[in-house]
Amino acid sequence: MEKNQDCLYCTRNQLQHDLMIEICDLDVSTLFLFKEQTYLGRCVVAYKDHVNELFELSDKDRNAFMKDVCHVAETMSKVFKAKKINYGAYSDKLQHLHFHLAPKYEGGPDYGGTFAMNPQKVYLSDAGYADMISKIKAAL
């Protein structure tokens, strides 16, 4: 499949670098740590090729992508002791198949409701991001 030159996931442009940090490649996707950490451990799993909808994938590729998403969610749950993982796959404006995985904690922000896309409240130091990434990689 082709890459889209206007897509931040395909081009890995400055906007993407401002929003997230690449952690690693998975079987059919790439894992990113979202820099805004209101929901401690929030990550994004983006499909490797430029598609917008799950139904655009073959059964094999869709199952492989969802396996990546589930593997990351389980890892996040273990590493960050989340009560619940929320999944967001909107792509209204950024048309590239990706899931936001937002850990939720009882008594924490938006628990029992929908997570905010980018509340712009909690940012970490470079060392803080590096520590989170190290823990995620060790648990994958």
Question: Does residue 5 have a pLDDT over 80?
Answer: no
Model pTM score: 0.93
pLDDT at position 6: 82
Asked if pLDDT for residue 3 goes beyond 80, the answer is: no
Q: Say if residue 133's pLDDT is above 60.
A: yes
Is the pLDDT score of 24 beyond 60? yes
% pLDDT > 70, the chain:
99
3-state secondary structure string across the chain: CCCCCCCHHHHCCHHHHHHEEEEEECCCEEEEEECCCCCCCCEEEEECCCCCCHHHCCHHHHHHHHHHHHHHHHHHHHHHCCCEEEEECCCCCCCCCEEEEEEECCCCCCCCCCCCCCCCCCCCCHHHHHHHHHHHHHHC
The mean pLDDT value for 68-93 works out to 94
Evaluate whether the domain defined by 8-139 bears CATH number 3.20.10.10.
no
Mean pLDDT computed over 33-51: 96
Q: What's the pLDDT tens digit per position in 87-116?
A: 999 877 788 999 999 999 999 999 999 999
pLDDT confidence of 2, banded at 50, 70, 90?
Answer: low
